[in-house]
Amino acid sequence: MDQPTSFDIRKILELLPHRYPFLLVDRVNEIVDGEHIKAHKCVSFNEPFFQGHFPGVPVMPGVLIIEALAQAGGLLVLHGFDPSETVGKLFLFSGLEKVRFRRPVFPGDRLDLECRLIRHKLKLWKMEGRAYVDGVLAAEAELTAAVTDRGDV
């Protein structure tokens, strides 16, 4: 088994194509290639989506919580590749199952993201993702993603 490792935003920016305001992972706390990842997103009141969701009662949109999980899952998969293998590639959602939202996420919360690889076959990866705030489950889902050539999109 590989030793767990961690990394900051610089490595995240190397691996993911996402940029502000759509980059939703701030730090990787633990990653074991081919197994699991633990990361987090610090949710700030300055996030642009809070202007309209919802005025007076700022709540992080559930779809963005799932996107944060997907980005963490993407980091899990992409971290295991040799960098030369990912040139010209995109890691895209191909399915969501068993999505449940358990508690709202508010400004000031730290969204802890955990993904565990369920299986990998050819160019498809299936992961179990969970998002927590203060140890309380906020959302969960099974995510399926595929690596594809940028030119095919």
Q: What is the dihedral of CA 99, 20, 40, 50, to 10 degrees?
A: -60
66: which 2 tokens?
């799932």
Task: Indicate which residues carry an active-site annotation.
Answer: 53
Residues 6+ apart with CB under 8 A from 98: 140, 141, 142
User: Could you report the per-residue pLDDT of 20-64, keeping only the tens digit for each?
Assistant: 999 999 999 999 999 999 999 999 999 999 999 999 999 999 999
Helix (H) / strand (E) element for 76: namely helix 62-79
Decide if pLDDT at 1 tops 70.
no
At residue 50, the pLDDT reads 96
Residue linked to tokens 């642009």: 48
